[in-house]
Structure 1
Amino acid sequence: MSKILIIEDETAVRENLLDLLEAEDYDVVSAENGYLGTKWAMEHIPDLIICDVTMPEVNGHEVLESLRQNPETATIPFIFLTAMADKTDIRKGMALGADDYLTKPFQREELLGAIATRLARQQVTEQQSDQSSRQIDELKAQVSKLQQSIDEKDSLISQFQQQLNSAIPKINVALHLLKNRNADPEQYSYSVDLLQKAYAEEFSLLSQVEDLGELLADDDVELLRQLELV
């Protein structure tokens, strides 16, 4: 049920609007002046506001200007009621952000039609806003996931470089020892174990890298294949 706020200083007009809209099953609240109407709107956020233009102390234009400056009430559909048909007055209201302008005395069908139109447009706007918010949230999630993937790959590459730098000296030592044909069996066995350990460390790390071909140049991939590491 849509909640409508009526801001009208004339008792007869205010009560007539209350009866008319309640008969149409709207949830209707009224305020007898601009100050009370503005205060209630900011506290309760109605779905639509019907407001008289000419009121003492705080007039309709001032009410609308205050509400449009508040982010929580800035988009509430706003319909002016006025006994004046002055085009300058109408343009001023529209410039402040009024959605419609009805001249007193208004017809029942005219008022109900204006209300229905503004509420329908507001619903479409809110649906589009909700859809945009969902799309933004989904995009943020995708960006976050992508960033996490990039961070993980960067970390893995860093680990790979560190372990590779650590393994190369071991391999060089082992190869140097193996070149010594006079090495005793114990030294030979130690060299083989050292090579196997270095190989196992590199293979374990490489097995964690996804799409390794995208991270390495073609020549590097071919070299790893020749060494039977990929």
Structure 2
Amino acid sequence: MSLILIIEDETQIRLNLQEILELVDFSVVTAVNGAMGLQLAKNNNPDLILCDIMMPGLDGYEVLQELRNDPKTANIPFIFLTAKADRNDLRQGMEIGADDYITKPFEPFEIIQAIQTRLARYSLTQQSHQPESHKVEKLQQQMKINQSKLQNSQQLAQIRENILEQLSQELRNPLSTINMGIYMLKESKNDQERDKYLSILQQECAKEIEILNEVDSLRALLTAENTKLLKNYKLLDS
């Protein structure tokens, strides 16, 4: 369940937003001003932040600037809630890292759609920056380092193909990223967005091919001496 932080000094708007989001199964925390919102963001690490611009004390721009300057909160998707629609205001927010603007008054579906879209894009971006081949490389390195120390296992002849099957299935999991990319491609509203998600899809497909090719290199390492290490990596059943 995604956690949404609402920073809004107007009580009725804050309560309405909380009710809307909880009805569609988001978990919600709220703050009545910028200082409190900043602290909640750092303590709770929400999945997305909705923040008013005009607030006493720290305004929305200052909150966003503080969040973007902290590595722990720098990448949290951030949507401004504003009664202002001036081009200069929009530019100012985007320059310091806002992901979207929603102008008051707003419709419930508008809020929900904006949040779901930003969460989906953030998830896709996070996955695209995590090479799936990392686990294979780590496994190969550890096998080589510990090869001389591991005990012989008589199970290997029976489980060799099971290991490869489990590993192959695990390496196919990034298909979820490709599916998400296809969804976002369909939702794209301009050529720039389409090119962005096409590029991600191409990267994921190339990554899949590379990883599946690496499976063959593991065959040479699947010796009886490595069985214990494979169990430690939970690639074998106990």
What letter matches 1:53 in structure 2?
I
Deviations 1:133-180 (A, max 9, x none): x4345446657888999xxxxxxxxxxxxxxxxxxxxxxxxxxxxxxx
* SS, match of residue 126 in structure 1: helix
CA distance in 1 between partners of 2:120 and 2:92 (Å): 25
Aligned AA for 1:25? D
Gaps of 5+ in 1: 150-230
Q: Which residue number in structure 2 is paired with residue 77 of structure 1?
A: 77
Map of 1:31 onto structure 2: 31
Larger radius of gyration: 1
TM (norm. structure 2) is 0.57
Report which stretch shifted further, 139-148 or 58-67: 139-148
CA distance in 1, matches of 2:44, 2:35: 14
Amino acid at match of 1:104: K
Question: 1:92 aligns to what?
Answer: 92
Q: Which residue of 1 aligns with 2:133?
A: 135
CA distance in 2: counterparts of 1:139 and 1:25, whole angstroms: 38
Q: Identity across aligned pairs (percent)? A: 52
Instruction: Report the TM-score, using the length of structure 1 for normalisation.
Output: 0.59
Residues paired across the two proteins, number: 147
Offset, 1:123: 1.5
Name the SS of the counterpart of 1:5 in structure 2: strand
The separation in 1 between residues aligned to 2:35 and 2:109, in whole angstroms, is 29
CA shift, 1:127, in A, is 2.1
Cα distance in 2 between the residues matched to 1:76 and 1:118 = 10
Using CA pairs below 8 Å that are at least 6 residues apart, which structure has the higher relative contact order? 2
CA RMSD, aligned part only?
Answer: 2.0
Deviation at 1:72, TM superposition (A): 1.4
Q: Structure 1: how far apart are the matches of 2:15 and 2:66?
A: 25
Task: State the AA in 2 paired with 1:47.
Answer: D
Between the aligned partners of 1:3 and 1:147, the Cα distance in structure 2 is 42
Give me the whole-angstrom Cα distance separating, in 1, the residues matched to 2:76 and 2:18: 19
Cα distance in 1 for partners of 2:54, 2:72 equals 25
Listed as ranges, the gaps of 5+ residues in structure 2 are 148-238
Residue in 2 that maps onto 1:115:
115
